[in-house]
Structure 1
């Protein structure tokens, strides 16, 4: 009898704690997006001495990173009321997907009232969307939706199976049509999940295809870190702390084995397996990979997109392999012909000068390209825009 009473008390205690966990986030509404596009953040923290919010909706500050000083989010103080609720309301914000976190007495943490989170390398932040204009591309709309699948392929040149993400357009499963393919590559610290979670690639494709602004296409998002079989927590290495720059990501191995990915896609999916129906693009390190893959296989892709590309010295200094004969292979790519070579970068990006020098090289060898320059720096806000501008140019 005594054991039964103890067990019952433990059950009641556990149930009470579970209910507190379930409903504690509902004590305040945060973030609250108002009709006038201002946003209010709230946090119940009556014992705290200071609360700040930091996010990319605030003016940027310079932050020291492994890649040097880059633009980072600012921070602002919240004000506490008599009930111990801290709050801050922004000015009207432009339509956009934003990230943010709280800083409570110097400790950075997520918003307990907002269950929507994304991971960027090791940083986990909350997200919200201010609707309208460009941001409507990032929202799930009442339109036909594509399918996102996780697939494993045999990376023969690396010696183990690896994971990639594939978007198939609305209607793919019900049709017998063949489709073109965009290979979309992530940046340093990213993985096969980055373009889906941070880049909103599936929502962008769904909405552009529904508006008939983009051709229906497959989008293949591989893992560009050759030492990984999948994203941290999704592969055989289990749960571990993600790294910003994993070993061997820019030494030519990934570029050299890339046709394993193309072969897997063209064997397992209904696609148009020719140069005219292949595109490759990527951000930062993925732009570096896209540049080298497209010139190493110079008669493979008719469309190339470099988004804030990490044009920087190669790790492999030898005269063989992917990085050999750089200028000569660019000329071969030019001579083979292509439909679009698209370069985009923010005016305050730390890679701006390197991209300028690269364009000067392309000008010198007479290699045609299209160039677009945006505000801001090395940020996902730019890369989502670049994707939404690049995709409508493909396979026309």
Structure 2
């Protein structure tokens, strides 16, 4: 008679239990498979939600006009649905509204955090958004590093992209410092901006030189993104202490020194670029003139321009004088991009007027739309090919 070991029986029981539990999770709350979102061949999208007892369900997202909601209709099985018109190729975010309560799509496991909100995402290909896909091309490496910041009296986390095959050679690479906006952190350009996918795809197409991309946390009051620091899990805030008060610009040299010491960089002006969106554009403007002979390429994406009048910092003294010094030292590219509907549009017009009066050369890119990630992803995809091509 064969002996059956207790440990073998226990393993089988645990395996069956896990399998049943997993299957319960897959079908929880619904009697049939629901596909949502479903992207059709004409690039229209159908959203679906099982909510048989709900009275009013709608979907809202950046495929609609700002503030607009699309009413969904309920079928006999209690499934609400809405189908869009064919959509342009883009990475979209959306949420449902069920009887006044905002909720994510339970059938879509793909979502992104933006400050304190989580939004589902979907990607419609066949155009611009093909750059945002993970395609069958050589891929760079993403690392989350910690560096010591004596100026902020803490260790801080930073995201760094190294290009394909960086680990396989001894070459030195130029560096782009890519800065996020207010409410963002060192994860924003990766999750919302698709920076690594854009870089991988443009490098594979031969349109962009291989480069290191450094994405710091622009909130000097933070060690790292929410949930990634010693503070644990807390609700993220939009505006933090020391926001745009000069402290980040003062201590930015620590980041450059860390990167140059840890990576095979080209540690000269010709090998450095800096760009950012909104608050990151503000930081780009002021870091590049505060260190006027450090960067050869600057990109201001929907940038905030001038500091608040109540802010007192040596960083914001003699702005015109330091801009003049930056101009005198020379640079390869100063690129300004903004949407026509952006709330910072007039501030950028005023800044360009200042530059014109100073004979400060720049390239201006005006787009449709406003203060959105849709624009910033496009700006990045246009900015990268212009970098490090100085003859």
TM-score normalised per structure 2: 0.93
CA contact (8 A) 2:300 2:335 kept: yes
Equivalent residue for 1:4?
A: none
Equivalent residue for 1:356?
A: 349
Equivalent residue for 1:145?
A: 139
Equivalent residue for 1:222?
A: 216
2:57 is the counterpart of 1:39 = no
Q: CA offset at residue 153 of structure 1?
A: 0.6
Distance in 2 of aligned mates of 1:353 and 1:218 = 33
Equivalent residue for 1:106?
A: 100
Unaligned runs of 5+ in 1: 1-10, 62-73
Distance in 2 of aligned mates of 1:351 and 1:17 = 51
Residue 332 of structure 1, aligned match among 316, 325, 330: 325
Distance in 2 of aligned mates of 1:381 and 1:40 = 21
* Larger strand percent: 1
CA contact (8 A) 1:250 1:315 kept: no
2:300 is the counterpart of 1:306 = yes
Residue 204 of structure 2, aligned match among 201, 206, 210: 210
Equivalent residue for 1:131?
A: 125
CA contact (8 A) 1:166 1:220 kept: yes
Partner-residue secondary structure (3-state), 1:27: coil
CA contact (8 A) 2:245 2:307 kept: no
Deviations 1:243-270 (A, max 9, x none): 1111102000100100100000000000
Distance in 2 of aligned mates of 1:119 and 1:321 = 34
CA contact (8 A) 1:252 1:321 kept: yes
CA contact (8 A) 2:307 2:316 kept: no
Residue 385 of structure 2, aligned match among 364, 385, 392: 392
Aligned pairs for 1:268-287 (under 5 A) are: 268-287=262-281
Partner-residue secondary structure (3-state), 2:316: coil
Distance in 2 of aligned mates of 1:133 and 1:91 = 17
In structure 2, relative to structure 1, the CA distance for the partners of 1:52 and 1:243 (3 Å cut) is: same
Distance in 1 of aligned mates of 2:272 and 2:310 = 27
TM-score normalised per structure 1: 0.92
CA contact (8 A) 1:137 1:203 kept: yes
Aligned pairs for 1:82-101 (under 5 A) are: 82-101=76-95
Partner-residue secondary structure (3-state), 2:335: strand
Q: CA offset at residue 15 of structure 1?
A: 7.4
Distance in 2 of aligned mates of 1:179 and 1:314 = 37
Aligned pairs for 1:1-396 (under 5 A) are: 18-24=22-28, 27-61=33-67, 74-314=68-308, 317-318=311-312, 321-396=314-389
Q: Which runs of 4+ in 1 moved over 6 A?
A: 11-15
Equivalent residue for 2:4?
A: none
Q: CA offset at residue 18 of structure 1?
A: 4.8
Q: CA offset at residue 143 of structure 1?
A: 0.2
Q: CA offset at residue 315 of structure 1?
A: 6.1
Q: CA offset at residue 29 of structure 1?
A: 0.2
Unaligned runs of 5+ in 2: 1-14
Distance in 1 of aligned mates of 2:141 and 2:262 = 15
Distance in 2 of aligned mates of 1:376 and 1:162 = 34
Deviations 1:23-82 (A, max 9, x none): 347720000001110100001111111110010011224xxxxxxxxxxxx211110000
Distance in 2 of aligned mates of 1:92 and 1:247 = 43
CA contact (8 A) 1:181 1:219 kept: yes
Distance in 2 of aligned mates of 1:368 and 1:298 = 15
Partner-residue secondary structure (3-state), 2:282: helix
Partner-residue secondary structure (3-state), 1:161: strand
Partner-residue secondary structure (3-state), 2:62: strand
Deviations 1:146-201 (A, max 9, x none): 00000001112111110000000000000100000000000000000000000000
